[in-house]
Amino acid sequence: MVEAKVNWVDGERFVSSASSGHAIVIDSDRHRNTAAGPMELVLQGLCACTATDVVSILGKKRELFTAVEVRAEAERATTPPTVYTRIKLIYTITGKVSRKAAEDAVNLSEGKYCSVSAMLKSTAQISTEIILDDSAGGYVDESAKKK
């Protein structure tokens, strides 16, 4: 079982920790803005989840990538609960990567592997864009080959 907890610090600021032993500060007060807010962390989690999948899949396909960036642009409902209603994920993959391999990796992440995406689909329409940048040389993730 995974566990998480928050402890109130002041105002709308909390220290959160999880069963992994890692802690972060969360600030729900967007005017004070001393740390990421809960909804920002949801988007960051989505980006990290799908990026992990894409890196793993491209590595297993022996695609020569040097960088993977996933950026999210999101819209929220106008009335509470202000859930995400639209999310656009923009993948920028640098290196010698075929379009088909990139599309396959993104589709597998979205349709099969990314747990965060699977949860958000119940309230948000998620779309994707893939930008390939082959201006840099390639890199094969050695750890992905061994899996």
Residue type, 115: S
Query: What is the per-residue pLDDT across 29-44, written as a single tens digit (0 to 9) for each?
Result: 999 999 999 999 999 9
Residue 17 clears pLDDT 90, i.e. is over it: yes
> What pLDDT is attached to residue 137?
55
Residue 20: helix, strand or coil by DSSP? coil
Query: What is the per-residue pLDDT across 55-105, written as a single tens digit (0 to 9) for each?
Result: 999 999 999 999 999 999 999 999 999 999 999 999 999 999 999 999 999
* Residue 50 near residue 33 (C-beta atoms within 8 A): no
> What pLDDT is attached to residue 136?
59
Q: Alpha-carbon distance 26 to 4, whole Å? A: 13
- Tokens, residue 15: 């220290």
| Band of pLDDT at residue 142, cut at 50, 70 and 90 | very low
pTM across the whole model: 0.89
Which residues, including other chains, have CB under 8 Å from residue 5's CB and lie 6 or more apart?
A: 16, 17, 18
Q: Alpha-carbon distance 37 to 24, whole Å? A: 11
Backbone angles phi and psi of 61, in degrees to 5: -85, 0
Q: Alpha-carbon distance 27 to 37, whole Å? A: 5
Calculate what percentage of the chain has a pLDDT beyond 90.
Answer: 90
Q: What average pLDDT does the segment 116-130 reach?
A: 98
Helix (H) or strand (E) holding 89: strand 84-96
Average pLDDT, the chain: 93
Pairing of strands 84-96, 125-133: parallel
| Band of pLDDT at residue 147, cut at 50, 70 and 90 | very low
C-alpha distances out from residue 59 to 56, 138, 143, Å? 5, 11, 8
